[in-house]
């Protein structure tokens, strides 16, 4: 297998196309406000949510040049991203997921609307008053997540990383119903037909030479479930002992191989050095490969 290798120099993986690092990202709006209450709505595709009972959301697309990190004497310097400036003034925002039906509106939100003029109004959409934060959400968006900034980090000369806490949410009742029963139960926001940014490029003709965003959509008919003959039967992950026992029932390994796998696991836990205990590691790996049919 031939490889092309890249090295990190001066903050860049020289020559590496960023789409090899940044996969397609789901589209959403981030609405912020300045100290006077003026709203700004930014279409965003970089960021993600982690957590379960406590949810944090990261935003990484709002940037400032090296000399724009601080305020000047007359306020924010010209050219600073409005969303970035607003989050410095009022560290709160609303994250609004939208589906394919609002794709045109997302393009409009990306236009250079003057500072202080609400993109929500320009898009012809409706402000949704928030429960816990100052910025408003967007009524037409089926999911609105209210968030407060916990941490802010400058990344290099241009980027800023915001880590936020989700403090409230508003979801269309129709979407709640779809997530409760029917073919889309449990899929959450996939039911809104979300869009994903896949590249930024010019078109193929003279009439489409300007750079534009390209989006794609999910084909829900291609969703695949892990089959019943792989893994622990009673739970999502389970224990090693339960998993290996169930692979006997699946017909992948014998009871004798099950016992040997348990012995090897204990031997490996006593010494995880890949050199001195290489034989145990290799034998256990071979047995686990057989257990999963590889």
Token pair of 165 as six digits: 């806490």
Mean pLDDT of 4-19: 73
Task: List the structure tokens of 23.
Answer: 């996969």
pLDDT of residue 67: 53
Residue 69 scores a pLDDT above 50:
no
Buried-exposed string 105-128: b where 16+ CB fall within 10 A, e elsewhere:
bbebbeeebeeeebbbeebebebb
Angle at 130 between CA 164 and CA 120, to 5 degrees: 95
Q: How far, in Å, CA of 110 to CA of 119, rounded?
A: 9
Among residues of the chain, what percentage have pLDDT more than 90? Answer: 57
Ordered DSSP codes for 148-214 = EEEEEEEETTTEEEEEEEEEEEEE-HHHHHHHHSSTTTT-GGGGG-BEEEEEEE--SSGGG-S-EEE
Please give the backbone phi and psi of residue 292, each rounded to the nearest 5 degrees, phi first: -100, 10
Task: List pLDDT tens digits, range 137-169.
Answer: 999 999 999 999 999 888 766 778 899 999 999
Which residue in 34, 161, 155, 154 sits closest to 88, CA to CA?
34
What is the dihedral angle through the alpha carbons of 55, 60, 62, 66, rounded to the nearest 10 degrees?
130
Task: Report residue 6's pLDDT band, with 50, 70 and 90 as the boundaries.
Answer: confident
Instruction: Count the neighbouring beta carbons within 10 Å of the beta carbon of residue 286.
Output: 12
- Tell me how far apart the alpha carbons of residues 156 and 279 are, in angstroms, rounded to a whole number: 45
Summarize pLDDT for 210-263 with one digit per residue, the tens: 888 889 999 988 988 888 888 888 888 899 999 999 999 999 999 999 999 999
Alpha-carbon separation of residue 157 from 10, 11, 63, 66, 69 (angstroms): 11, 10, 9, 5, 9
By three-state DSSP, how is residue 95 classified? strand
Q: Please say whether the beta carbons of 41 and 106 come within 8 A.
A: no
pTM for the model: 0.86
Nearest to 106 by CA among 29, 36, 177, 180: 29
- Residues 6 or more apart in contact with residue 12 via CB below 8 angstroms: none
């Amino acid at each position: 297998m031939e490889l092309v290798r890249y090295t990190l120099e001066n903050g860049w993986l020289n020559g590496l196309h960023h789409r090899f690092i940044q996969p397609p990202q789901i589209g959403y709006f981030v609405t912020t406000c300045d100290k006077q209450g003026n709203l700004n709505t930014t279409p965003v595709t970089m960021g993600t949510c982690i957590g379960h009972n406590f949810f944090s959301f990261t935003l990484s697309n709002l940037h400032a040049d090296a000399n724009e990190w601080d305020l000047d004497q007359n306020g924010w310097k010209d050219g600073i991203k409005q969303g970035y400036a607003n989050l410095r003034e009022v560290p709160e925002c609303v994250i609004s997921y939208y589906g394919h039906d609002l794709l045109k509106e997302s393009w409009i939100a990306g236009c250079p609307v003057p500072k202080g003029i609400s993109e929500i109004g320009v898009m012809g959409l409706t402000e949704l008053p928030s429960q816990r934060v100052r910025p408003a959400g967007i009524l037409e968006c089926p999911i609105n997540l209210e968030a407060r900034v916990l941490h802010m980090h400058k990344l290099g000369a241009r980027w800023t990383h915001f880590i936020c806490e989700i403090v409230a949410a508003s979801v269309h009742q129709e979407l709640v119903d779809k997530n409760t029963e029917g073919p889309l139960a449990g899929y959450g926001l996939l039911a809104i037909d979300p869009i994903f940014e896949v590249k930024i490029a010019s078109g193929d003709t003279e009439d489409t030479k300007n750079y534009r965003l390209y989006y794609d959509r999910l084909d829900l008919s291609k969703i695949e479930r892990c089959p019943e003959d792989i893994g622990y039967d009673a739970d999502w992950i389970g224990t090693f002992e339960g998993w290996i026992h169930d692979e006997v029932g699946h017909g992948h390994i014998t009871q004798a191989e099950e016992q040997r796998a348990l012995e090897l696991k204990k031997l490996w836990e006593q010494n995880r050095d890949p050199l001195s205990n290489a034989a145990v590691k290799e034998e256990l790996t071979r047995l686990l490969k057989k257990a999963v049919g590889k």
